[in-house]
Amino acid sequence: MEILDILGRRWSPRCFDDKAVEQEKLQNMMEAARLAPSAMNEQPWYYFIGRKDDETYRKIFSTLVEFNQLWAIQAPLLMMACGRTKYVSRDNSDNRYWDYDVGQSVAYLTLQATYEGLFCHQMGGFDTDKTAELFHLPEEVAPIVVIAVGYMGNPETLPDFLRTMENGPKTRKSLESFIFGSDFGIPYQF
């Protein structure tokens, strides 16, 4: 099948080079994130950006589960994406699409990063309560994902068990396993 080359190049490594992410590339990533579609054009996303050795980086890093800390410490950039759970345009009512919209924004950011020659590894393994406290998030803003960003590093810098994961096969489900036609489990016929 013919798909955009950038989609095939995107993957989530655990090894990063210590080279800093250039400001222009970071701005391009954030512009891509800004342009993502959202319900009612609410754009409910917020991002925190930490560069290696700054306070924001240390705060984000401290929220990660131990497994993610083992490898994420190599990344020159840690980001956290949050979302506003209430509509601004609708009397502060619940926005049931906020996390979907933040996910789209992160996907746009990730594809732009890939275009820029960077790699992103998104993580759900972090303490959301600690994050909300450390960053003084308002009640209607929820953290959703932490993202390690940087250039590809050398897998040899990882502990043995992580190196095995890094160098192992990258598999995806077949189309028939998740695309259905007339009923659940009945594959769509292309």
pLDDT at residue 2 in the model: 80
Q: What is the pLDDT of residue 29?
A: 97
Identify whether 178 is part of a domain.
Answer: no
Single-letter code of the amino acid located at 38: S
Whether residue 160 lies inside any domain: the answer is: no
Domain boundaries, position 129: 13-154
Asked if residue 187 is part of any domain, the answer here is no
Task: Please give the C-alpha separations between residue 184 and each of 137, 175, 177, 179, 180, in angstroms, as whole numbers.
Answer: 40, 14, 10, 9, 6
Would residue 131 count as lying in a domain?
yes
Residue ranges of the chain with per-residue pLDDT less than 50: none
- Judged on CB neighbours under 10 Å (0-12, 13-18, 19+), 130 is middle
What does the pLDDT read at residue 150? 96
Question: How many structural domains comprise the chain?
Answer: 1
175 lies in some domain:
no
Assigned domain for 3 exists? no
Query: What's the predicted TM-score (pTM) here?
Result: 0.90
Residue 23 in any domain: the answer is yes
Assign residue 101 the CATH number of its domain: 3.40.109.10
Question: What is the spatial distance between Cα 82 and Cα 43, in angstroms, rounded to a whole number?
Answer: 11
pLDDT of residue 86: 94
Residue 186 within a domain? no
What pLDDT is recorded for position 79?
A: 98
